Amino acid sequence: MPPALPLSTSRLLLERMLLIRAYEEKIIAFHEAGPFPHVCTSVGQEAAAAGVVSALAPQDQILTNHRSAGHLLARGADPGRMLAEVMGRSTGYCKGKSGTLHISAKELGVILTSTIVGGELSLATGAALSREMLGGDGIVACFFGDGAACEGIFHESLNLASIWNLPVLYVCENNQWQAYVHRKETMVGDHIAPRAAGYGIEALTVDGNDVEAVFEAATAAVAQVRATRRPFLLEATTYRQRGHMEPHDQSYVDPAEIAEWRAKDPIDRQKARLLAQGGLEEADLARLEARIRRDIDEAADFAAASPFPDPAELATEVYA
């Protein structure tokens, strides 16, 4: 079967997923070595981040949640500045004041990272309204999980976006777990996408562990939102392979479930696809992975060597 996407795009998607995985594996290693700030990793969810963000244009804006590293890195964030922010250093994106759970990067169009579950949903409509008032064809991409979709703010946000005709691409990363509770304990049905119909919003569920399927679905959804100035809900079915936060374990998860989903790992699937298509040789893959690991090692060294913020700056740049 011929490749569905240009080889350059397929390889770029793989590279972005590898970068996200290597970044979070570095954080996991820091935790294993000793005390380190708590971080919510997204190991296993890389295809959703890489696939959707790669479909966005520079003028588009992003609001995201506590598992934000993949979205930021796929958008082009510097891993050194990201690690510096996590470590509370002055060279971070927010000068060490946001930590891992509140990173924003204005230059990348990443408005905010919300540690409040569903917090980004409450602000997506306002961000999209500003897009309309300012003019242009920019849209807003709002990332959230299945846990947030079980809160009232999900319904309020979709309702208002539909009534006001706002250009929001809602992206639900349905990773099966809501902190320590499986979605089956909190949801009727397996998917979030069908809920959009009640608000007159089109929706689609895609295999969130197939990065090319996510990219193609997101590309079509972005084009539709941009053209119609109407919201769209894209649900990526995926799986969180780590605990809720590092260094939490997964003792509450059935080992067979974890094994089943790890067999569908998005990075392994994209590697196998490219190798089978002849778009990548084993030696090329080894060199790519080695380069990314070096880049992350250098990013970690940069962050660790960076100074802490001056205490005199404690209250500066906190409020606009």
Measured CA to CA, the distance from residue 12 to residue 274 in angstroms comes to: 11
Q: Is residue 288 part of a domain?
A: yes
Q: Is residue 38 part of a domain?
A: yes
As a whole number, mean pLDDT of residues 243-247 equals 85
Residues 148, 320, 128: CA angle, nearest 5 degrees: 45
Higher pLDDT: 205 or 41? It is 205
Check residue 183 and give its pLDDT: 87
Total of domains in the chain:
1
What is the domain range of residue 160? 7-296
Long-range pairs of 104-107 with CB within 8 A, sequence gap ≥ 24: 105/72, 105/75, 105/77
Q: Of 60, 201, 63, which is closest to residue 131 (Cα–Cα)? A: 60
Categorize the per-residue pLDDT at 3 as very low, low, confident or very high, splitting at 50, 70 and 90: low
CATH number where 13 lies: 3.40.50.970
Q: Is residue 145 part of a domain?
A: yes
Q: Of 216, 147, 208, which is closest to residue 17 (Cα–Cα)? A: 208
Q: Is residue 1 part of a domain?
A: no
Q: How many helices (H) and strands (E) does the chain have?
A: 10, 8
Q: Is residue 310 part of a domain?
A: no
As a whole number, mean pLDDT of residues 151-167 equals 97
Check residue 4 and give its pLDDT: 79
Q: Is residue 320 part of a domain?
A: no
Measured CA to CA, the distance from residue 256 to residue 223 in angstroms comes to: 39
Q: Is residue 263 part of a domain?
A: yes
As a whole number, mean pLDDT of residues 164-188 equals 91
Contact 139, 128 (CB under 8 A): yes
Q: Of 236, 297, 294, 232, which is closest to residue 266 (Cα–Cα)? A: 236
Residue percentage of the chain with pLDDT more than 70: 99
Q: Model confidence over 79-136: pLDDT tens digits? A: 999 999 999 999 999 999 988 888 999 999 999 999 889 999 999 999 999 999 999 9
Q: Is residue 18 part of a domain?
A: yes
**If you average pLDDT over every residue of the chain, what do you get?**
94
